[in-house]
Amino acid sequence: MQTAEVVIIGGGIVGSSVAYHLAAAGCNNVLIIERETHQGKGSTGKSMGGVRAQFATTVNIQMSLYSIPFYESFEERTGYPSGYRPQGYLFLAIRPSHLEYLRANQERQKALGLKNVCMISAEEIRRQYPLLRSDDIVGGSFCSSDGFVDPHSAMTGFTKRAQEGGVKLWRETEATGIHREGDRITAVETTRGPVATRTVVNAAGAWAAEVGKLAGIQIPVAPLRRMLVPSEPFDQYPHSTPMTIDMSNGFHFRPESLGFLLAWNDPEEPPSDRTDFDPAFVEKILLRAANRVPVFENLPINPKRAWTGLYEMTPDHHSILGPVPELKGLFLANGFSGHGVMHAPATGKIVADLILQGSTKLIDVETLSLRRFAEGKLIEETAVL
């Protein structure tokens, strides 16, 4: 029987970050199990790649304050590029209540150490971004260190550096069972045979609940279809623009290659594991795009290039991190609700700390424990895109 000190189920950006941080701390008898032929075929490869510290809750801000500088120095740390581009996030406030919300968030962000976030007036927005329709904009907020990364490149960097440190990766391998004796894990059953281990990390993304069932643990994570629409090359809007969020409806966009990437979470989309693209979505998103950026009326779209990914949603839109008290050796890194890529560095550090030291200084991990749902201690994050 194969043995591993730690088995990580899921080889996307979260699982690969956990492996990297374990190896960096000297724990290299680690096995990543990835059921696909290539990593990143789940949520990682379908992500918009945004990274931001402009959140409403302490724990999300803290995770961003670790993750964004990590991405900035990624090549220095790992030898591989992350594709980090600090073009900023610009939130466009349409109502006075939006401004109050952004100001309150900024107080918390600054108190936790975020330096380069600021409120921006409607006049300044009109001056800096004259191609935005701004008659209804009352102000906004901007953070210059927010921006974008290349999720696939970062995942690859984490994995390769971990492998250089001795971590093993099994592709085309599925976890089919988690064995236990009493309240402790003893092995993972896979399509390549059993692996004896005392520690398992569930990093299975949208399929986290299925992996939890293998261990007899209920994990409240449900997949949600998320559609993204890239444009063909388009030069009528500056490519130096930040990620821009219209707070009236949640529509947001950023530069991508020679065009732009459009996103909007349809509030009528029900939870499901559907990964088909609905062609009717193109018209819905283009209406919102042209409403905020009039020149986007001319934006060339090829629906065949659009894609669908899965968010892994929890009831309170916060991740589930840390050990499962009723099953020693099982650690969860699940339910990022659209923030998996941006918080992958922090997640890897937190989970590695918990496995190797039993605690972490990065966040109050109890805030994100699985038990919060049973105890009714849900956290409200309103800054969800």
**What count of other Cβ atoms lies within 10 Å of the Cβ of residue 184?**
12
| pLDDT score of 54 | 98
How many whole angstroms separate alpha carbon 56 and alpha carbon 60? 8
Name residues whose C-beta falls within 8 Å of residue 375's C-beta, 6 or more positions apart in sequence.
none
Q: What is the DSSP string of 131-195?
A: TS--TT--EEEEETT-EE--HHHHHHHHHHHHHHTT-EEE-S--EEEEEEETTEEEEEEETTEEE
How many whole angstroms separate alpha carbon 301 and alpha carbon 287? 13
Which position has the token pair 């089919």?
A: 176
CA angle 307, 298, 237 (to 5 degrees): 85
CA dihedral 149, 146, 322, 218 (to 10 degrees): -80
Q: Phi then psi for 91, rounded to 5 degrees?
A: -95, 125
DSSP state of 353: H
| pLDDT score of 39 | 83
Helix/strand/coil for 323: strand
At 153, which helix (H) or strand (E)?
Answer: helix 151-164
Residue type, 271: P
How many whole angstroms separate alpha carbon 40 and alpha carbon 38? 7
| pLDDT score of 177 | 98
Q: Report all structural domains of the chain as residue ranges with CATH numbers, in order of start.
A: 2-49+151-220+315-375 (3.50.50.60), 85-147+223-313 (3.30.9.10)
Q: Are 157 and 82 in contact (CB under 8 A)?
A: yes
C-alpha of 1 from chain center: 35
Residue type, 336: F
Encode the chain (385 residues) as per-residue pLDDT tens digits.
899 999 999 999 999 999 999 999 999 999 999 999 888 777 777 789 999 999 999 999 999 999 999 999 999 999 999 999 999 999 999 999 999 999 999 999 999 999 999 999 999 999 999 999 999 999 999 999 999 999 999 999 999 999 999 999 999 999 999 999 999 999 999 999 999 999 999 999 999 999 999 999 999 999 999 999 999 999 999 999 999 999 999 999 999 999 999 999 999 899 999 999 999 999 999 999 999 999 999 999 999 999 999 999 999 999 999 999 999 999 999 999 999 999 999 999 999 999 999 999 999 999 999 999 999 998 876 665 6
Query: In angstroms, what CA-CA distances link 172 with 34, 39, 190, 206, 214?
Result: 6, 10, 10, 18, 18
Q: Are 40 and 13 in contact (CB under 8 A)?
A: yes
How many whole angstroms separate alpha carbon 104 and alpha carbon 106? 5
pTM, rounded to two decimals = 0.96
Q: What's the order of all strands across the beta sheet hosting 184-190?
A: 2-3, 193-196, 184-190, 175-181
Judging by DSSP bridges, how do beta strands 175-181 and 50-51 pair with one another?
A: unpaired
Q: Are 329 and 200 in contact (CB under 8 A)?
A: yes
Which position has the token pair 């990620």?
A: 243
